[in-house]
Amino acid sequence: MADLPSSRVNISRVFTRVGIDFCGPFSIKLLSGRFKKSSKCYICTFICFVVKSVHLEIVNSCITDAFIGALKLFIARRGKPSDIYSDNGTNFVGANNELRKILKDLFNKESTGKIEDFSASEGIVWHFNLPVTPHFGGLWEAGIKSLKSHLKRVVGNTVLTHEEFSTLVTQVEAVLNSRPLCNLSSDPNDDFVLTPAHFLVGSSLTALPDPDLTEVPINRLIRWQLVQRLSQIFWKKWSTDYLNRLQSRVKWCKGEKIFKENEIVLVKNEDNSKTLNWNLAKTIKVHAGKDNVIRVVTVKTNKGIYQRPINKIIKLPFYD
């Protein structure tokens, strides 16, 4: 396994380098009460590269202006980042069909130019991942995995008002920023741990004490207690999930296949078609990272010249 990039290990202010992703849609009501009209909203997620702090912003749509508005709110509250990393419109393979279409529209050529103009005016360097490489954004994908799955399971079919949903999302943000990173002391009797919140406010995030409402039937709760109950359930699910994912994982020790220029290769299609339909291509240039590991290859097919990650390239056996 290669070393982590310098953007992950160099000391810097929190949220100096961030990754951005979206999740949703979620249904909310503009007004409280029965039979009120509902609308959809999304959550824009900002993940700090260094300490894994999380910042969540609710947006009512995924149009470019709404996204830039969420970015302005983030800058006003957390400070201006120097670098922003995100997928481009072709990388949202994990999103549902509706969100995928909206995100592709958000990151089309015209909108991308508008976003880059705004970031350039603010002195921010924007990094878009290569096409068909969603795994290049593993940091922020992993950061919102629990947010997407648990928030959907906790909220379920309950339709909250915008104020209630905003309160819940803010409490969820505090939960995510309270997850343990490492022990503060080597003393086994010392149970204090370092969390992302220590880099934000100097200590772990705490909330006003609330009675345990997880076992109380929903029909006996008032609206505010319902929000507290959802937050408590989220905390329990997150704690269990995070502790399970802290188990050690085996790293690969064998080197990846090495590509060279002017080799004939097969290129996997994006539509998961049969191998007989994969295109033959010729490698024009290989792109090595700062650690001299090749992860991207420029290939030429009968349809044009493209950049593809090595997991989409099949090396023919006579080159082995």
For residue range 156-200, list pLDDT tens digits in order: 777 888 888 888 888 888 888 877 776 555 554 555 667 788 778
- Spell out the alpha helix ranges (H) of the chain: 6-9, 64-78, 97-106, 109-121, 138-143, 145-155, 162-176, 196-201, 223-245
The reported pTM is 0.62
Q: Identify which has the larger pLDDT, 110 or 173.
A: 173
Arithmetic mean of pLDDT over the chain:
72
The residues spanned by each domain of the chain are 6-134
51-104 per-position pLDDT tens digit: 888 899 998 877 777 878 888 899 899 888 888 887 765 444 444 455 556 666
Q: Which helix (H) or strand (E) holds 17?
A: strand 17-29
The predicted pLDDT at position 246 comes to: 47
pLDDT given for residue 143 in this prediction = 63
Higher per-residue pLDDT: 211 or 287: 287
pLDDT in tens, 67-79: 788 888 998 998 8
Residue 55 has a pLDDT of 92
Which residues, in sequence order, are bridge partners of residue 46? 20, 55
pLDDT number for residue 96: 47
What's the rounded Cα separation, in Å, for the pair 25 and 16?
28
Could you tell me which residues come within 8 angstroms of residue 228 by beta carbon, excluding any fewer than 6 positions away? 210, 213
pLDDT at site 193: 66
Query: In this structure, are strands 83-86 and 125-128 parallel, antiparallel, or unpaired?
Result: parallel
Cα–Cα dist 29/90, whole Å: 31
Which of the residue ranges 192-201, 259-268, 301-310 would you say has the lowest mean pLDDT? 192-201
Q: What is the mean pLDDT of residues 108-117?
A: 67
Region label for 242, one of left (φ > 0), alpha (ψ between -120 and 50) or beta (otherwise): alpha
Helix (H, G, I), strand (E, B) or coil at 267: strand
According to CATH, the topology of domain 6-134 is: Nucleotidyltransferase; domain 5 (3.30.420)
Phi–psi pair at 105, nearest 5 degrees = -70, -35
What's the CA gap between 151 and 168, in Å, rounded?
A: 9
Of 72-76, 127-131, 226-230, which has the strongest mean pLDDT? 72-76
Average pLDDT over residues 253-267: 75
